[in-house]
Structure 1
Amino acid sequence: MDTYFSLLGLPANFALDLTQLEQAWRQASARVHPDRFATASAAEKRVAMQWASRINQAYDTLKNPVKRAAYLCELADYTVDAENNTRMDSAFLIKQMQWREQLDEVRGKPEQMLVLLNAIEQEAQTLEGCLTELLDHKKDFALAAEKVRQLMFVAKIQNEIKSLLA
C-alpha cells in the first residue's frame, strides 16, 4: 500500500524535516505537472491530475502535526475518533478549562492574549515531543491517539486566539 510517506519518499515518522517535506512535495508535483502532459491523451491527463491531487493531499496531511499524527495512528489501525471519543485525562481537562477561563478574562486585551497564546504554544510543543516519542520510538499508538486528541484541542484554541488577534 502506498502511504503519503512513501509517495513522497519520506520515512514514516512523526518527526519530519519540513524543508525536506516541501522539497519532496515539489519534486513529486513536478513529475505530474499538467505541462508535462500537454500532448498526452485525455486518460493520461486525468491520471496525472489524480496523482497531483494525491500528492497535494499527502503534503497537506504531513505538513500539519495534528493530521500527521492522526495519519500515523490510522496507518497502525488506531483511529483518533475525536468526534466520538472525547475521553482525556483529568489534568488535561482542567488545563482546558483554565485556558478557556483565561481567554474569557483576557479577550480584547492583545498583550495578555499573546501571553496565553505563548503558554498554549509551549503545550503544543510538549505534546509534539511526546508524540515523537510515542509514535517514532515506543510505537504506542493507543496513547498517541489520546495525545492527538489533546493536540487537536490545543490547535483549536490556538487558532481561536490567533483569529481574535487578527
Structure 2
Amino acid sequence: MPFDFSQSHFVLFGLPTTFALDRAVLDTAYRKLQAEFHPDRFAAADDAQKRLSLQIATRVNEAYQTLKSPLARARYLLQLNGVDTQEDTNTAMPVDFLMQQMEWRETIADAKTQRNVDELEELNRQLAEEITELTVELAELLDEQHAWSDAATAVRKLRFLEKLNDEIGNAIEAVLF
C-alpha cells in the first residue's frame, strides 16, 4: 500500500494547485480514495497495514476538509507559497471594513434584542453575498495575480465574515428557541 505523505492535498486528489476548483471532482476523488484506503478494507490485514490504512484515511479526510472549505483552501495555498496569514497576530483591517463589521454587530445585537428573525435572516443574506464576493476576489488574488500579501488580508477578512456568520446563526437560534 504505497502512499506519499509528502504530497500536497491537490496532488493527492489529482487537482491543479489553484483556489478555484471543481467541487464535484474533489468529492469524486475523495470518495475513491476513501474506498481504497478505508480501514474496514484492512480488517484482516496485519497490525502495520491496519495502522497505515488508518493514517492514510486520516490524511485523506484532513486534506478533503481543507480543500472543500474556501477559507481553509486559501490558507493552505498561501502556506504552500510560504505566506503566513497572521490571523492570530495581525488584526489590522481597512477602516471601511471595520466600520461595516461594527454596523453588522450592532444590527445583530438590536435584532436579537427585538427578537427580529427577519432582520437577522436579511443580514445573513447580505453577509452571504459579501462572502461570495470575497471568495471571487480570493480566486483572482491567488490564481491570477499571485498577490500573496493581498490574499492573506482577504483571508483575514473572510475569517471575520465567517465568525460574523456564526454570530448571526447563534442569534437566530437564540431568538427561535
TM-score category of the 2 structures, normalised to the smaller one: over 0.9
The 2-side partners of 1:125 and 1:12 are apart by: 21
1:146 positional shift: 0.4
1:161 aligns with 2:160: no
Aligned residue in 2 for 1:133? 140
The 2-side partners of 1:10 and 1:159 are apart by: 30
1:71 positional shift: 0.8
Q: Secondary structure at the match of 2:16?
A: coil
1:2-26 alpha-carbon deviations (Å, 9 max, x no partner): 1111111111111122221111110
Aligned-partner residue type, residue 85 of structure 1: N
1:109 aligns with 2:144: no
After superposition, the CA RMSD in angstroms is 1.1
Aligned-partner residue type, residue 153 of structure 1: F
1:8 aligns with 2:13: yes
1:164 positional shift: 2.3
Structure 2: gaps (5+ residues): 1-5
Q: Among residues 26, 29, 49, which one is paired with 2:31 in the alignment?
A: 26
Aligned residue in 1 for 2:3? none
* TM-score, normalised relative to structure 2: 0.90
Correspondences of 1:68-79 after superposition (within 5 Å): 68-79=73-84
Aligned residue in 2 for 1:59? 64
Aligned residues: percent identity?
39
Q: Among residues 82, 91, 104, which one is paired with 1:86 in the alignment?
A: 91
The 1-side partners of 2:153 and 2:121 are apart by: 27
Aligned-partner residue type, residue 34 of structure 1: P
Q: Among residues 105, 122, 126, which one is paired with 1:119 in the alignment?
A: 126
1:65-118 alpha-carbon deviations (Å, 9 max, x no partner): 111111111110111121111111111111111111111121121001011111
1:144 aligns with 2:144: no
Q: Secondary structure at the match of 1:128?
A: helix
Aligned residue in 1 for 2:51? 46
Structure 1: gaps (5+ residues): none
- Misfit runs of 4+, over 4 Å: none
Matched residue count:
166
